Amino acid sequence: MLASVNRVRDNIGVQIRFLLGPAGSGKTFQCLSEVRDALRQSPEGPPLIFLAPKQATFQIERQLLGDGSLAGYTRLQISSFERLANFVLDELAPESREWLSEEGRVMVLRALLARRHSELRVFRSTARLPGFAQQISVLLRELQQQQLSPERLIDLATDSRAPVALRDKLHDVALLLRAYLDWLRANNLHDAQERLDAAAKVLRALPRQSGIGGFQLWMDGFAEMTPQELQLLAAFMPLCERATLAFCLDADAVADQNASWLSLWSVVAQTYRRCSQELAAVPGTRIDIKVLERDPSRTRFENPILATIENHWTAPSASGAAVPA
């Protein structure tokens, strides 16, 4: 696939557009319209990438084909970050890697819990309970997504300001994570959770004159993004000619840098700011911000009651009238 998009990347840079607006303002509609236009203009060419949460990819595909203007496509990939990482590794690093499955991960953790049982402080009494290895697997996955290393956990565990119970728990988690990573290295295996990190590393190692590029990228549907996902996105961006990233944000929330963390927009606003900062650091990027306002003539909330609720979601008293039951 990548062989068909060879071109020498120049110094024009990447045009990144942030598309911001509340629910129903037309962000997804605009992204899909641009994808359809690109497919109609050129059914063949460099891949078009549409990034969406894993659970939303089928819905995006249905919306794309729902108006009947496209009979199908081969150029577009509607992907989660996991599938994007697989695409990068398959195309740019096709050497064989042994990936440990989730079932294998739990089996290894179960053995490590039994082997390191006496060194645990908090988990010693529960280490051999049924299902505990699965719980530890979920915890370690979240730590890997946040790129927290055993060394960082040990530093936190030795902080005298933290409660003793928390320090002991951090000690146990750091011990298990270190033991697990050491086991992987000793057996020349890779954890499936490392795919995003591995793909980002491969992309960062590409020489500028590699001749690979010409992608167009759209992203929609993310309220939160892990550090792994942000780094993969930033590493992939130099391969793109242009990118559109949509976030569900009210115009006031975009402008308010000191909004309370209790605000309903807080999580998305933090994600948007982290993403914009990460991408602004990519050499050659040009960032544009477009804010979509509410437009009653083309909102998804055709029911006036639902439209009123959405419009005053963060300030119910501003509606001036009670919403009928």
pLDDT digits (tens, 9 = 90+) for 25-42: 889 999 999 999 999 998
- Find all residues with CB under 8 Å of 38, minimum gap 6, and list them: 48, 216
Read off the pLDDT of residues 230-256 as tens digits, 9 standing for 90 and up. Answer: 999 999 999 999 999 999 988 777 766
The vertex-290 CA angle with 286 and 292, nearest 5°, equals: 165
Q: Structure pTM? A: 0.84
Which is more confidently placed, 325 or 19? Answer: 19
The Cβ of residue 220 has, within 10 Å, a number of other Cβ atoms equal to 21
Look at residue 229 in the predicted model and tell me its pLDDT.
96
- The residues that bridge with 116 in the sheet, in sequence order, are none
The answer to whether the beta carbons of residues 265 and 249 sit under 8 Å apart is yes
Read off the pLDDT of residues 78-121 as tens digits, 9 standing for 90 and up. Answer: 999 999 999 999 888 877 778 998 999 999 999 999 999 999 99
Distance of CA 53 to the CA centre of its chain: 7
